[in-house]
Chains A and B, each alone.
Chain A
Amino acid sequence: MKFTDVYLQTATKILVFIIMTFSIYVLFAGHNNPGGGFIGGLITASALVLLYIAFDLQTVQEVFPVDYKKLAATGVLVSVLTGVGSLVLGVPFLSQTFKYVELPFLGNTELTTAMIFDLGVYMCVVGTTMTIITSISEDDI
């Protein structure tokens, strides 16, 4: 099925970037404010779904060649390995720590290990959601 809806495609090209940016914002906001890896991941997935609706499966796969199953697995690995880090240090599993660091452009920023965990969740959610959606939509009847 070839979609040629010009409005949708043109709007998508702009909207995807806005949605993606927002999802990254939500991901980073998640430590002390509403947001986090799960919601950020879902928002990213919705951007990708929009791409799939506007263009077809093959085109998006060419532009964005990611194996979603592997992305999800990487996400879980990242999350669990953050916990394993605390095993190495001899503190209880999943212990977290944070530090305020002076970064260029950003100023005084709070860096936490929970952020890495959230990043894993983010990747896992994007991977899982997209695996579900692409595997349902691959059959066309």
Chain B
Amino acid sequence: MDLRFSPEENAFRQEVRTFFQTEIPLSIRSKSIEGRHLTKEDMVTSQKTLHRKGWAVYNWPKEWGGTEWTPVQQYIFLEEMQANGVPPPLAFNTSMNGPVMIQFGTEAQKKKFLPRMASLDDWWCQGFSEPGSGSDLASLKTTAVKKGDHYIVNGQKTWTTLAQYADWIFCLVRTDPEAKKQLGISYIVFPMTSPGVTRRPIQLIDGGSEVNEVFFDDVKVPVENLIGEENRGWDCAKFLLGNERFGIARVGVSKMRVARIKELAKRVPGNTGGTMMEDPQFAEKLALAEVELKALEMTQMRFLAAERGNKSGKPNPATSMLKLKGSEIQQTVTELLMELAGPLAIPYANDDDEMIGHNEPPIGADWAAPAAPTYFNYRKVSIYGGSNEIQRNILAKAVLGF
């Protein structure tokens, strides 16, 4: 047993870190570190920079631009990316739709879609959830009826993240209304500019509108845009949802945020005369978050080490624990930043909101402005990607054998 990283792994870490710090603009990285809004352009710049280096789709097979990194290297890469505030490659492209296409797509589909997905020349969004189908995804009602060489798609998707930027959507649709739940579902893709596609942004409690409702009204989709077999789309969905493994705990993000809170707490005045770092109650809450984070980091490394011996390709269900605990810690950390800000977190300083005039002087303290919105926004992390209650169901069944 040797729980240290090897010299090669440390050298790799250094290489990755240097690249991030020299090649990804500081203006972009500090936005993520400070919890400020990233523009589409920021995310495209970041992914294109990574892509030129050959790292944007590090997790794909080599023939489609992947790296063949070991699980430990992938972990180091993600950790450094998160610690340095580098916007990650767009998950919809690189860790969701891309791997599905690689696994289930035809050669023609791969050639057509994958290169532009990797470079973020096409921005993809995910059409899974519907108003009536959240945790019970397989109850989805959006239909695709085959007419000649087209499907006609009707229905509604919701919680579609960043659909406002998207060129394409990958969608679960019902192609056989007679079949039992999971069996009549297909995975199809089409441009967001297709006639009949409309989008309505949903303002969230943080004031932003990162998610949308998307409506389909007789959208014509060529049959060659079906991925995998008709009525077997659930296989793609399961594959996609199980594919997310080690980034999900976002340990690096939480570490970066804790480090920042500690820096800020040394200069924010506390209630007991000194700084907030000298406020014992706050300092102990912060220390407890650090303990849990360290434990999670070690847990992640243990699962990662076990993953090397896992040749089945099936996800280790214990990784649901990473989602569960990782989301709790992310939420705790955003809560701590808001508590640190105290009264300074109160002003609503959202430049994008019509309630606030543009070109006015900024409201409140710069560092404190995103504290409450981030706290509000991060309530999502225990809901999306399979809610924490669903993760508990998975663990109960797959690990504890209930």
Q: Do A and B bind each other?
A: no
> Which residues does B use to contact A, with CB under 8 Å?
none
